[in-house]
Structure 1
Amino acid sequence: MLESLITSKTRIKLLLKFFLNINNQGYLRSLETEFNESTNGIRQELNRFENAGLLLAESEGNKKLYRANIRHPLFKDLNSIILKFVGVEELLERVIDRLGNVQQVYLEGRIAQGLDSDIIDLLIIGNDIDRNYLSSLVEKTEPLLKRKIRYLVFEEADAKVYVERHHKELVLIFNSPE
């Protein structure tokens, strides 16, 4: 879907990198290695995003460190589009309502790092989660998303240590209003 709207593969990779996980940052050279693309193409797209105010750049010596501008008026919209692109939003709509007492859902793994992946890794925190129902929902949802879904389920009391230990690799995608 996103590929038909945005024809630049580099632009899509940058959107995934910076607008899925707000903690992601990158230097031009590290992005070159990560994306396996030329620095010229990446530099052009970074400049476009920076000129549009979508990315912020900080100079560190002779390098520029890029990160998403979370105060940009379009940040939330872009984040939502990226979540839809990777299939997380549809998954949440299907799963959360009927699962039990879900407190939080985190995205982890390659997608949380802003890299496209055939696998969606989720951390689900809550009490009285119906694991059999979750398993059947995942089984039904995977073909629709054309991605494998892996998940960890923690009771609320047990999740704190895991979240503290892995907080830099986690992206909160659902937080119960209760």
Structure 2
Amino acid sequence: MTLAILFSRTRAEIFRLLFEDPARESHLRDLAREAGLSPAALQRELTSLAGSGLILSRRDGNRHYFKANTAHPWYADLHGLVSKTTGIVPALKNVLVPLDGIEFAFIFGSIAAGHASTSSDVDLLILGSIGLRKLTPALRGLSQTFSRELNPYCMTTEEWRRKRRENDAFAARVTREPKFWLKGDADVFDSMGF
């Protein structure tokens, strides 16, 4: 089951981003970038959720920040639901961020698109000098913990650029699909023509 079964994609993304980590407070534009949604669509939903008390909002100059309201009676239930449906994302970040040789890493496929089940495999694109020999042992524990098959696709940034130049079908599909970023910056990735 995914959050998208119960909520609109916008609301599901808000819950995923804000209820996974109770200490997280995020600016509207950061949330929009991570969710892959327009700030205007996100703003409408955030305003509605803030009105219900599920999230808290505050202004700091021009910036508008949001966070989960941990005192709300539904917080524990929503946090549990998010953890069960999206817990692999923060776990992957914890494993991948410290590893050397990774410039960019993201989840693509059904999980990023919002229509995965708890048994869906996890498609990862890893760009950098790291190889499967070093990456596989780091991911093995997560695969067992979350009972999900992890499918890492590793290549150098030059290999990826070549695939993009040659209009490789896999590269074209991954480029246009939604992504959950694990390591690296989406804006840098986009600006470099990846």
Q: TM-score, normalised by structure 1?
A: 0.54
Listed as ranges, the matches of 1:1-178 within 5 Å are 10-11=6-7, 14-16=11-13, 22-23=35-36, 51-52=48-49, 73-74=65-66, 85-98=86-99, 100-117=100-117, 118=119, 119-127=121-129, 129-160=130-161, 161=164, 166-171=174-179, 172-175=181-184
Given that residues 126 and 152 in structure 2 are in contact (C-alpha distance below 8 angstroms), is that contact kept between their aligned partners in structure 1? yes
Cα-Cα RMSD: 4.3
Q: Deviations over 1:72-125 (max 9, x none)?
A: 633799xxx758934121122123323x31100121010110123321110000
**Preserved CA contact (<8 Å) 1:16 1:115:** no
What amino acid does structure 1 have at the position aligned with 2:139?
V
Count of residues in correspondence between the two structures: 130
Distance (whole Å) between structure 2 residues aligned to residue 109 and residue 173 of structure 1: 14
Q: Measure, in 1, the Cα distance between the counterparts of 2:147 and 2:114.
A: 18
Q: 1:149 to 1:135 in 2, by over 3 A?
A: same
Identity of aligned residues (%): 17
Moved over 4 A (4+): 16-21, 47-50, 81-84, 162-165
| Structure 2 contact 13–35 (Cα < 8 Å) conserved | no
Gaps of 5+ in 1: 26-46, 55-70
AA matched with 1:168:
R
Q: 1:122 & 1:89 partners in 2: Cα distance? A: 14
Give unmatched runs, 5+ long, in structure 2.
18-33, 39-43, 52-62, 70-78, 165-169, 189-194
Cα distance in structure 2, aligned partners of 1:10 and 1:22: 17
